Amino acid sequence: MTVAQTSKLEGQRMFVQGRIPSQWLVEQMPEAIWATDGALRFVVVGGAAAGTLGLEPDRVLGTTVYDYFETTDPTYPPLAAHLRALQGIADGYRFDHGGRVYSVRVGPVRHAIGRVVGVVACATDVTDLLTPSGPSRTVLDALRVPFLRVEAGSRVTFANAAAREAWLQGDPEGRPLAEGGPHFARLAELVAQVWEQGAAASTELSWPSSGGTRLYRWDAALERDPDGSPRAVALLATDVTEAAQAADASRREVDRWERWAAAAADVGSRDHAGAVAEALLDWLCALSGARQGAVRIWDERGQAVAVRCREGMPEPLWERVQSETARGEAVWLDTWAWDDARSLGLPANRFRRVLLVPISGALVAGVACLAWTDDEGQPEMDACPLVRLCRVAGSAASQALAAERAREAQERLALWSRLAASWPASGDPGEAASCLLSTLVDTLGLSGAAVYRRQGALWVRVLNAGDREPASSFPWEEGAARRVVASGRPEVVHPTAGDPAFTGQGSHGILASLSAGLDEAVVALESGPGRGFSGSELSVLEGLLSQLSALLRWARQGAAQAVEARRQRALLEETPVGVLLLDGSRVVRDATGTAAELLGLRAEEVRGRPFAELVYHEDRELAGAELAGLYAEPGRENTWTVRLLRTGLPWWAEVTGRNRISDPQIGGLMLAVRDVTAQRERDEELRRRLAQFQALEEFASALRWARTSEEVGPRVVAQAQRRLEAEHAALALLGPEGDSFTLAYVHGALDRLAGASFPLEGAYARAMSTAEAVRLDEPTEDPLFGQVVGLGPVLVVPVRARGRVLGALGVARRSGASSFSDGDVQLLQAFAEMSADVLERAEVVDALERAYTEVVLSLARAMDAHDAGGAGHGSVVAHWAEAVARRMGCPLEQVREVRWAALLHNVGKVAIPEEILRKPGPLSADELALVQRYPVIGEQILEAVPRFRGVARLVRHHRERWDGTGYPDGLRGEEIPLGSRIIAVVDAYNAMTDHRRYRVARGHTEAVAELQRHAGSQFDPQVVQAFLELLEESRAL
């Protein structure tokens, strides 16, 4: 980015901040306008006259005023005026450029807080006003500001309209300047100065106008004749009212922020939170004009560290005030209403407005509340200085609090140092406790210290330190000891004379519970005469009381623990569970005899070994992860199963580990080891049997509703393949002659051989001939399994029912897979037995269905022979119906159903009397109703065969019509099954082209026309189209 572009951006920033006029306004001015930054570098140029002065933006932006005037001499008037403006002083000058004379006014540009950040200047062309001939009166009268020309002796030779209007009376021309009134009299002094010094001068005067008094800057310059002799003085006024007002506002703003700086310095210098709050409240009232206010500061724990209120200001509800400023912003509230005032805890009808300002710091937070009554005037709405001052106060309070805490920490450190210098070195816990009490008394200057333990209804003193002794015992309910034990919190006793746990010599006492791990016990600490306890002393005592409690607990429990340790060691040696103790580096530090025996080693051979060496190599990662979890959390306990080594062989162990590193008696990781090998084998066998039972139950459930061999076979092989995790499964059925077998149902790798027959050879033949299971690990030599590359272990079992071999069930896994176990053999044999029972039942069902089907087909053929349609009608309809179904893209199973339905569509006519079927004339209403029943009768006949249930539905609806006027159910459109719609079209064509007793057969063309005519009313149009396309193709052949 170029320097000019950078300067332009700086100027835009100054526009946005409102410190100089907008660019649009600058461009509209007839003068030349420019602005600079603090280094007098041009950042804005504009105005109609800018080009005349050579102030083109592309040329001067980024350059400096020094460059423009080609000098750095600070006495050069134009440069001096700019430098004075940087010092906050407005100034002006004239200079010649291109034969023209320009009057320039230069002023400072200030920041919001009053700091000068640049200069703004305006140049006006005054050439015509200063030439000897001068501009015409018309031009000068058009000026809205006064212009005068005065000769020697202050006589006015010319006055424009604005000057004449300001003259008190009469025409000023030809009259002395002083006669125009007091304002013109002061101008006479300015003219005299110019005549005397021979140099331009200026002054500022208040001037009356129609809109009120305005402030004008009068510039006076000496006009000379061509020979250089002075001729007259030209006076030109410039209205600077707004500029002066802006300067006054700027001065007020500077004064305001200077007061804020003084306030910030004062508040920030305070070294105590209370002093910070006091100074903050005073300055907030001074800066805002409020006479009432309150301040509250609290630390990060929510405890108040300073509260200040002005006299007459009640303390507000700080929780409510805090919630109002929760967003961290100042909040103005109208509190004249009774409810609004009460919500803040302020009296009603007293304060008109309230300002809440949040206080925030690193360690503190708070709120300042300022209030104005109705007679105090309108408060200043700009809370920015107040908000910033509260931030300074937050920082100051945080620093003061941090310093106070640092002092307390230093005091505590000094106390700890003094205590450490005389700390008891005894190894006996009881003696150490007594020494600790004595050290506290000596170091802190206490009157005394004692420990009491409850024994029945009495408090009995067990330890004492100090010159005087309190009561050796006293009733349990007397004094504060009972309350301290009940609450678990220390209690300060003042005075001490009334409590039997103290001597009464000290001013304050502290009673604290020592009941952790003990019977009810308390410690009584009594301060020196005439003094209490400092915060540092209380903090140190709080830390020491837990150590005193621990010493007393250890002293009482030490002997019992030693006895218990010996007893537990003996018990551990006798228990069947081995115990290992690991140190922090996972090395066995100790081991019981049982643990060594489980590992096949002596105890001394186990000690010093890394635990990982005792773990089977495949389980070391698992064991390492479990140990890591135990080491990471003191006191943690976990149980897992892992294989350990005994004489180099793995065995299953249940390991229960517990982290006892923090226990000084143990200081390590305890592992309880138990041999669970036998239990795990029993569990594995139980899981295997349960899985086998579940597989049999699922297998039985899959076959429960299978009725035919087509339903049984696929389910048997699918279940066998999945349950035995095989690549291949097949059910082979023995041929009727007993010299071959057929792969009736295949699933998996050999599915391409489904339906193929093979000689009685290989694994299937052996299983069927020996009635025993056959296992092969490498099936490459088998005539059947050897046909597929990549098959591995093979298992084939016979399928027998009532002592008769029906076939064999075989499975094969991929090459490299594990061999079939005895459990696999048992499972597949169970599958075969269940399959045999179901297959035998399916054979019976198949035989019955075949017999019934033959009866139905016989009835259908008989009906074709006796019906008016003639023999072979059903076969012809079946042929064409099957062809149409294929043409329309029906699935294979649906095509089969359509063929059977077409073949048997008239079987229901067996229940219609023959004389009605052969009646040549029209049927009566009753006869017609009886005839229309034959599709329903046909459905009922076919439903008896499960495989014909879908066929029966097609037969029922083959007399329905596309428009819904058919029978028996009046179905419409696609509500009619597609197979029924196909049979209706083919049956109609066949009926029209066959010869009947009561009419002569129609020709093909006439029958086709009839079908087309009824397409969309009687027949499905798409079925008609498909059928006619087939007819045309067949006739073409």
- Three-state DSSP at 788 gives coil
- For residues 285 and 310, the answer to whether their CB atoms sit within 8 Å is yes
pLDDT bin (cut points 50, 70, 90) of residue 130 is: low
Give the mean model confidence (pLDDT) for residues 682-688. 66
- Three-state DSSP at 507 gives coil
**Res 4: pLDDT:** 45
Token pair belonging to 663: 């226990």
Distance CA 691, CA 823 (A): 11
Token pair belonging to 927: 């006869």
The 10s digit of each residue's pLDDT in 651-681 is 899 999 988 887 777 778 888 888 888 877 7
Terminal Cα-to-Cα distance of the chain (whole angstroms): 88
pLDDT bin (cut points 50, 70, 90) of residue 455 is: confident
Q: Is the pLDDT of residue 248 over 70?
A: yes
pLDDT bin (cut points 50, 70, 90) of residue 960 is: very high
Q: Is the pLDDT of residue 330 over 50?
A: yes
Distance CA 223, CA 315 (A): 74
**Among the listed residues 936, 933, 877, 868, the one whose alpha carbon sits nearest the alpha carbon of residue 903:** 877
Ranges of CATH 3.30.450.20 domains, the chain: 3-125, 128-239, 575-674
- For residues 20 and 78, the answer to whether their CB atoms sit within 8 Å is no
Contacts of 913 (CB under 8 A, 6+ apart): none
**Res 105: pLDDT:** 86
Distance CA 130, CA 103 (A): 11
Burial class (CB within 10 angstroms; exposed 0-12, middle 13-18, buried 19+) of 924: exposed
Round the average pLDDT of the chain to a whole number and report it: 79
For residue 230, whether the previous peptide bond is cis, meaning omega lies within 30 degrees of 0, is no
Main-chain phi, psi angles of 792, to 5 degrees = -120, -125
- Other CB atoms within a 10 A radius of the CB of residue 853 amount to 16
Give the mean model confidence (pLDDT) for residues 702-721. 70
Least confident interval from 373-382, 440-449, 507-516: 373-382
Token pair belonging to 129: 């006003």
Give the mean model confidence (pLDDT) for residues 28-46. 86
The 10s digit of each residue's pLDDT in 826-851 is 888 887 777 776 666 666 556 556 65
- Provide the 8-state DSSP code for 1015: B
Q: For the domain with range 575-674, which CATH number is right: 3.30.30.10, 3.40.50.1110, 3.30.450.20, 3.30.70.260?
A: 3.30.450.20
Give the mean model confidence (pLDDT) for residues 513-528. 72
**Res 16: pLDDT:** 39
- Other CB atoms within a 10 A radius of the CB of residue 994 amount to 16
CATH, range 255-405: 3.30.450.40
**Res 495: pLDDT:** 82
Q: Is the pLDDT of residue 401 over 90?
A: no
- For residues 799 and 721, the answer to whether their CB atoms sit within 8 Å is no
**Res 239: pLDDT:** 77
- The architecture that CATH gives domain 422-557 is 2-Layer Sandwich (3.30)
pLDDT bin (cut points 50, 70, 90) of residue 553 is: low
> Rounded to two decimals, what is the model's pTM?
0.35
**Res 554: pLDDT:** 58
Distance CA 419, CA 748 (A): 85
- For residues 579 and 591, the answer to whether their CB atoms sit within 8 Å is yes
pLDDT bin (cut points 50, 70, 90) of residue 1021 is: very high
- Return the C-alpha torsion angle 337, 341, 342, 343, nearest 10: 110
Give the mean model confidence (pLDDT) for residues 207-227. 77
Please tell me the class of the 128-239 domain: alpha beta
**Res 115: pLDDT:** 80
**Radius of gyration of the CA atoms of the chain, in A:** 58
Give the mean model confidence (pLDDT) for residues 490-507. 80
Main-chain phi, psi angles of 880, to 5 degrees = -70, -35
Q: Is the pLDDT of residue 459 over 70?
A: yes
Please tell me the class of the 3-125 domain: alpha beta
- Other CB atoms within a 10 A radius of the CB of residue 501 amount to 26
**Res 341: pLDDT:** 65
- For residues 666 and 581, the answer to whether their CB atoms sit within 8 Å is yes
Where do runs of H (alpha helix) occur along 29-171?
Answer: 57-60, 65-69, 77-86, 127-130, 137-141, 161-166
Give the mean model confidence (pLDDT) for residues 258-279. 86
**Res 1023: pLDDT:** 95
The CATH fold of domain 867-1036: Hypothetical protein af1432 (1.10.3210)
- Return the C-alpha torsion angle 120, 126, 130, 133, nearest 10: 180
**Res 591: pLDDT:** 87
For residue 1021, whether the previous peptide bond is cis, meaning omega lies within 30 degrees of 0, is no
pLDDT bin (cut points 50, 70, 90) of residue 862 is: low
Main-chain phi, psi angles of 765, to 5 degrees = -65, -45
Distance CA 474, CA 484 (A): 16
pLDDT bin (cut points 50, 70, 90) of residue 1024 is: very high
Burial class (CB within 10 angstroms; exposed 0-12, middle 13-18, buried 19+) of 817: middle
**Res 891: pLDDT:** 92
**Res 837: pLDDT:** 67
Distance CA 125, CA 143 (A): 13
**Res 516: pLDDT:** 47
- Return the C-alpha torsion angle 658, 660, 661, 667, nearest 10: -120
- The architecture that CATH gives domain 684-838 is 2-Layer Sandwich (3.30)
**Res 868: pLDDT:** 47
Distance CA 496, CA 524 (A): 10
Ranges of CATH 3.30.450.40 domains, the chain: 255-405, 422-557, 684-838
Ranges of CATH 1.10.3210.10 domains, the chain: 867-1036
Q: Is the pLDDT of residue 1018 over 90?
A: yes
Q: Is the pLDDT of residue 890 over 90?
A: yes
Q: Is the pLDDT of residue 1 over 50?
A: no
Place of tokens 């009640």: 314
The 10s digit of each residue's pLDDT in 53-101 is 888 888 888 899 999 988 889 888 888 889 988 888 888 887 778 777 7
Give the mean model confidence (pLDDT) for residues 434-460. 78
